Amino acid sequence: MGMRTENVAPSISVLMSVYNAMPYLPQAVESILGQTFGDFEFIVINDASTDESREVIDSYRDARIRLLDNKENLGLTRSLNRAFQHAQGEFIARQDADDISLTQRLEKQISFLRDHQDVGLLGTSYQVINEAGQVLYTSHPPASDTEIRWITLFHNAFCHTSVMFRRNVVLQDTYPYNEAMRYAQDYELWSRLLRTTRAANLGEPLVQNRTHAANITTQQSESQKRLASEVSLANLRNLLGEDFPQQEDIECIRGKFFGRDKRLSATDVNSCSTLLTILDCFETISEVDTAMVRDIRFQTAKRILRTMPLSALPRLIHSGVFGEMLRGNALRIAGGALAGVWHRVTAGTDASR
């Protein structure tokens, strides 16, 4: 794919904010400059770095790099907005200063977006790497628009450094990122974009997301979780109404159903009911694939029935949650759940013990 042509707007603007990004910065920069698709501009914001980051960026003699300096440290959100204001490309791609884009990333993403004009927001699967660049595991975010919309109600469905979106889906906003959000700004932006465009994640890992002691996710995990919960609550109230659900319900649902805590307790019956109410409302959205929503309902019900302690099953049935779970999938759900319950009884693995 061709390199940049002078005086012609590039196809892609790659945005990267840099603050004291050594020693990972050279790999990040070179992973973009080495892309098989070459028609891009690389807008790099030096956010008042105090290490050698600026000198490293300035050492690359590549006309596609546009280096901008912040006089003072503005943070990621405001720096990305500044970069966006300088962007000329039809498509906007993100790149973090400690991550790596695999060589065909831009080519495969722009090809998909050109073939799917209804999709305005596109991420990819990704590899998580450590400080030394060793792959720890591969993550596959939800691929389809319906799955993405469902997950986005509760959690970020994209790896920020993997995202490419159409510039015109945010042209109506002076700044795409909400500057009130110091963290989770990407989750808040994707939530807004889904109101006006469709989304997808490519199944192939095309970026490497680095985890290390100095990155934002590690250093500001509690602040990030708190702001992400606020975004989730806003998403759900946009769907359900201003007074529902309650903050405590969201914390339970985000942790128990979509987090690492896989065990349910007898006190989680109300949260199960809330989750199914959310699913009912979600099913009415015109953009969603109803067949896929039925499968989400099945997977949700199966999880509830297999992980709720046996002592809570009478309350589950009495509350009406059991009947609601079976709606539209009765035989399939009941068969899968009873098999799980029987296994727990015979194996002595009741979650309440």
Pick the closest to residue 147 from 163, 134, 158 (CA basis). 158
Judge residue 331's burial from the number of C-beta atoms within 10 Å of its C-beta, 0-12 exposed, 13-18 middle, 19 or more buried.
exposed
Q: Are residues 161 and 288 in the same domain?
A: no
Among 173, 191, 224, where does a domain finish?
A: 224
Q: Are residues 154 and 213 in the same domain?
A: yes
- CA-CA distance, 351 to 353, in Å (whole number)? 6
Among 161, 192, 224, where does a domain finish?
A: 224
Q: Are residues 220 and 114 in the same domain?
A: yes
- CA-CA distance, 335 to 305, in Å (whole number)? 11
> Which residues contact residue 265 at a Cβ distance below 8 angstroms, ignoring those fewer than 6 apart?
308, 309, 312, 351, 352
Judge residue 29's burial from the number of C-beta atoms within 10 Å of its C-beta, 0-12 exposed, 13-18 middle, 19 or more buried.
buried
Task: Please give the tally of structural domains in the chain.
Answer: 2
Contact 284, 327 (CB under 8 A): no
How high is the pLDDT of residue 262?
67
Confidence (pTM): 0.88
3-state SS class at 148 = helix
3-state SS class at 183 = coil
Residue 240 lies in a domain: no
CA dihedral angle for residue 274, residue 199, residue 185, residue 134, rounded to 10 degrees: 100
> Which residues contact residue 221 at a Cβ distance below 8 angstroms, ignoring those fewer than 6 apart?
none
Domain span including residue 40: 12-224
Q: Are residues 209 and 286 in the same domain?
A: no
Residue 103 lies in a domain: yes
Pairing of strands 198-210, 119-129: parallel
Residue 162 lies in a domain: yes
3-state SS class at 314 = helix
Q: Are residues 148 and 185 in the same domain?
A: yes
Structure tokens at 258: 């979509």
Written as one letter, the residue type at 282 is: F
How high is the pLDDT of residue 198?
97
- The CB-side HSE value for 15 (13 A sphere, CA atoms) comes to 27
Q: Are residues 161 and 206 in the same domain?
A: yes
Q: Are residues 74 and 176 in the same domain?
A: yes
Residue 2 lies in a domain: no
How high is the pLDDT of residue 1?
47
Pick the closest to residue 53 from 28, 88, 80 (CA basis). 28
Pairing of strands 12-18, 91-94: parallel
Residue position matching structure tokens 């349910």: 264
Q: Are residues 318 and 214 in the same domain?
A: no
Residue 220 lies in a domain: yes
What string of pLDDT tens digits covers the 353 residues of the chain? 445 556 689 999 999 999 999 999 999 999 999 999 999 999 999 999 999 999 999 999 999 999 999 999 999 999 999 999 999 999 999 999 999 999 999 999 999 999 999 999 999 999 999 999 999 999 999 999 999 999 999 999 999 999 999 999 996 667 899 999 999 999 999 999 999 999 999 999 999 999 988 765 554 578 888 899 999 999 999 998 877 777 777 878 887 777 655 678 878 888 888 888 889 899 999 889 999 998 898 888 878 877 888 888 788 878 777 777 776 665 555 555 555 555 555 555 554 33
- CA-CA distance, 313 to 328, in Å (whole number)? 20
Q: Are residues 37 and 163 in the same domain?
A: yes
- The length of the chain in residues reads 353
Residue 239 lies in a domain: no
Written as one letter, the residue type at 291 is: A
Q: How far is CA 91 from CA 29, 83, 120, 159, 244, in A?
A: 19, 13, 9, 17, 36
Q: Are residues 196 and 308 in the same domain?
A: no
How high is the pLDDT of residue 352?
39
Among 193, 224, 255, where does a domain finish?
A: 224
- Which run of H or E residues covers position 259? none
Residue 4 lies in a domain: no
Q: Are residues 147 and 19 in the same domain?
A: yes
Q: Are residues 45 and 112 in the same domain?
A: yes
- What's the CATH code of the domain at 58? 3.90.550.10
- The CB-side HSE value for 96 (13 A sphere, CA atoms) comes to 19
How high is the pLDDT of residue 214?
73
How high is the pLDDT of residue 351?
42
Written as one letter, the residue type at 155 is: H
Residue 118 lies in a domain: yes
